[in-house]
């Protein structure tokens, strides 16, 4: 009995110190302050000159109200956290500058029920699933062959390419797709028909990481550099 007590004391103290340290860390993490709004990492390719406010708007409510809401959340008295200082960066924020009338894969389509499986795998309904900001990269979807999530049944009537799509797909050559197609269809380009002329996967991976683009420079829709109501 007495030995048990001796054991429990230091353990309890350990828990308490741990809890206090944890709380301090949480407060530090969540503490709102406009002055200390530091970026998490380098801006993505093309975004080096953008102002923070191009994507981050002030969230509603004073800092103190937000703090109260979040403390209530931490105590289990509330279901959701409040946006601390800043609102989520939504598709709409990106589209204010990147509206592409003929996007062949517009994000809104992927909210449809038939894309449920794809949503679970790669969340294609959000720009930031594939372009996570503050990573210094251009495209952050982990695989260049993620087309597998939606194009397993793609078949062309008069397939013009040297190894028909059906064959490429049967052979699971998903890494080949971006070698001939861009994703949004915004580059002004003629689609290659010789599979051995496609950009190799390595070139696509370098481009994803922020390297030079293998696709032509000219675009159908140019990005805006600023939004009016920043």
Residues 152-171 that bind ligand HEC (CB under 6 A): 154, 156, 160-161, 165, 168-169
Ranges within 26-65 binding ligand HEC (CB under 6 A): 37-40, 45-47, 50, 52, 54-56
Does residue 133 bind ligand HEC (CB under 6 A)? yes
Name residues contacting ligand HEC, limited to 201-230 (CB under 6 A): 213, 215, 219, 223-227
Q: How far apart are CA 108 and CA 125, in angstroms?
A: 6
Would you say the C-alpha torsion 41, 45, 50, 53 has a positive or negative sign?
negative
CB of residue 79 to ligand HEC, shortest distance in Å: 19
How many other CB atoms are found less than 10 A from the CB of residue 205?
A: 15
Q: What is the C-alpha to C-alpha distance for residues 101 and 10, in angstroms, rounded to an integer?
A: 65
Q: HSE on the CB side for 93, CA within 13 Å?
A: 17
Nearer Cβ to ligand HEC (13/102): 102
Task: Compute the least distance from the CB of residue 200 to ligand HEC, in Å.
Answer: 11
- Report the residue from 68, 91, 143, 203 that binds ligand HEC according to the rule CB under 6 A: 91
| Beta carbon nearer to ligand HEC, 70 or 149 | 149
Q: 2 or 93: whose CB is closer to ligand HEC?
A: 93
Map tokens 């409510």 to a residue: 61
Q: Tokens for 157?
A: 């009537």
Q: Return d(Cα 166, Cα 159) in angstroms, integer.
A: 9
Q: What is the dihedral of CA 131, 105, 95, 225, to 10 degrees?
A: 70
As measured in angstroms, the least distance from the Cβ of 64 to ligand HEC is 18
Q: How far is the CB of 62 from ligand HEC (least distance, A)?
A: 17
> Contact with ligand HEC (CB under 6 A): which of 98, 143, 199, 205?
98
Using CB under 6 A as the binding rule, the residues of this chain from 103 to 122 that contact ligand HEC are 104-105, 107, 109-110, 115, 118, 122
The most distant pair of C-alpha atoms in the chain lies apart, rounded to whole Å, by: 85
Cα 178 versus chain centre, distance: 19
- 113: tokens are 């029920």
CB of 25 to ligand HEC, least distance (A): 16
Among 21, 191, 200, 212, binds ligand HEC (CB under 6 A): 191
Segment lying near ligand HEC (by CB under 6 A), choices 2-10, 13-21, 24-32, 175-183: 175-183
Residue 192 interacting with ligand HEC (CB under 6 A): yes
Residue with tokens 């959340």: 73
């Amino acid at each position: 009995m007495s030995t048990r007590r001796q054991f429990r004391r230091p353990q309890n103290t350990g828990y308490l110190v741990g809890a206090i340290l944890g709380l301090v860390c949480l407060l530090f993490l969540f503490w709102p302050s406009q002055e200390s709004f530091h970026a998490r990492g380098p801006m993505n390719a093309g975004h080096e000159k953008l102002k923070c406010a191009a994507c981050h708007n002030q969230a509603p409510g004073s800092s103190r109200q937000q703090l109260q809401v979040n403390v209530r959340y931490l105590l289990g008295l509330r279901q959701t956290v409040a946006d601390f200082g800043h609102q989520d960066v939504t598709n709409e924020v990106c589209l204010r500058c990147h509206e592409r009338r003929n996007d062949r894969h517009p994000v809104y389509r992927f909210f449809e029920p038939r894309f449920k499986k794809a949503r679970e795998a790669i969340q294609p309904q959000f720009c930031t699933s594939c372009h996570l900001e503050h990573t210094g990269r251009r495209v952050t979807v982990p695989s260049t062959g993620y087309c597998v999530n939606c194009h397993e049944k793609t078949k062309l009537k008069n397939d013009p390419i040297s190894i028909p799509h059906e064959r490429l797909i049967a052979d699971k050559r998903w890494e080949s797709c971006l070698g001939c197609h861009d994703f949004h269809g915004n580059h002004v380009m003629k689609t290659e028909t010789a599979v051995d002329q496609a950009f190799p996967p390595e070139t696509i991976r370098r481009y994803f990481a922020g390297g030079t683009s293998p696709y032509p420079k000219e675009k159908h829709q140019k990005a805006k550099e600023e939004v009016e109501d920043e």
